[in-house]
Amino acid sequence: MGRVVVDVMPKPEILDPQGKAVAAALGRLGFGQFGAVRQGKRFELEVEGEVTEEVIAAARAAGEQVLSNPVIEDVVAVYAEEQQA
C-alpha cells in the first residue's frame, strides 16, 4: 500500500490569523526565534499498490479540486511517502 502526501498552504498574499496567533504563542513560550508562522494542512492519501506517476498526478488534481480552496490556498507539495511498517 502506498501513501501520498498533499500539502496545502494559505497563499502568500492571504492573511493567516491562525499562523499569527501561533507565532505570538511561540514568542511567549520561549520560542521567539521564529518570527513568522503560517499554518496550512497536510493530507495523507492511501492508495492500493504502488505510488506511480499517475497516482501523483491524481493526488495533485484532488488537491487542487477538492482538498484546497484555490481562492485562498495553494497546493505546495505532492509526494510519495515511505510507509512506516
Q: Tell me the torsion sign for CA atoms 55, 60, 63, 64.
A: negative
Which of 13, 36, 50, 69 contacts its own copies by CB under 8 A? 36
Q: Can residue 56 be called a binding residue for its own copies (CB under 8 A)?
A: no
Q: Can residue 34 be called a binding residue for its own copies (CB under 8 A)?
A: yes
Complex with its own copies: residue 22 or 80, whichever CB lies closer: 22
Q: Can residue 39 be called a binding residue for its own copies (CB under 8 A)?
A: yes
The grid coordinates of residue 31 equal 520560542
Q: Can residue 38 be called a binding residue for its own copies (CB under 8 A)?
A: yes
- Sorted by sequence, the CB contacts under 8 Å of residue 54 that are 6+ apart come out as none
Q: Is 50 helix (H, G, I), strand (E, B) or coil?
A: coil
